[in-house]
Amino acid sequence: MKFFTTIISTLLIIFTINIAVAQNNMKAPVRFKLKNGVTLIVAQNAGMGKVYARLTVENDVTALNNDTVTLITNVLAQKAIEFNKMAYPLNGEVAPMNLQFAEANTAARTNEFEDTLTVAVSAIFNPEFSQEATSKFNADKSLTAEQLKAYHKNAIKTSDTYLTIAGDISVADAKMLVNKIFGNWKEVAKL
């Protein structure tokens, strides 16, 4: 009995130390407003090995057309599925990307984060609306790829964008990466 008590006590101590170390690595979130209008929030957690991001574009919901938003979401979700199959074909991990209209969520290993975030940002701000993809999710053929592009261009703008990054990335690296990915994109939505 004493042997089991010693083992359990040792495991509890190790577990407690691991939690304490992980908590010590978490830094307070830092918030920036970038030149292109994107609000960036970074919470560094060194040694985690993964980086998570959530990109949200705030829109005037009352001005949005639900059918068009649903169609755009379906096209973006398909792009995420294709990326996830390519990025993580057999390892059974959680999908690194989820895309919807005006929203993207990513979870990637630190060394794969830049590529994953680049694809997510590109999909949200510069989506490819091919006629084939549009037709696949547009059964009644009421919207063309050109109409989707025009609607999307008018509904998405960087000044209403919030990007939260948490994980094994420094604040300086996150800021540099986001500036690199977004570049000088400054189009303004007109809803």
The CATH number of the domain where 148 resides is what?
A: 3.30.830.10
In a domain, 20, yes or no: no
How far is it, in rounded angstroms, from Cα 161 to Cα 164?
A: 10
Residue 120's Cβ-side half-sphere holds a number of Cα atoms within 13 Å equal to: 29
In a domain, 12, yes or no: no
What pTM did the predictor assign? 0.76
In a domain, 18, yes or no: no
In tens, the pLDDT along 131-140 reads: 777 777 776 6
| Domain span including residue 150 | 28-182
CA distances from 113 to 58, 76, 96 (A): 23, 19, 9
In a domain, 7, yes or no: no
In a domain, 57, yes or no: yes
Q: How many domains does the chain have?
A: 1
How far is it, in rounded angstroms, from Cα 134 to Cα 106?
A: 24
In a domain, 15, yes or no: no
Per-residue confidence (pLDDT) for residue 55, from 0 to 100: 92
In tens, the pLDDT along 76-131 reads: 888 888 888 887 665 555 568 888 888 899 988 888 889 889 989 888 888 887 77
In a domain, 175, yes or no: yes
In a domain, 113, yes or no: yes
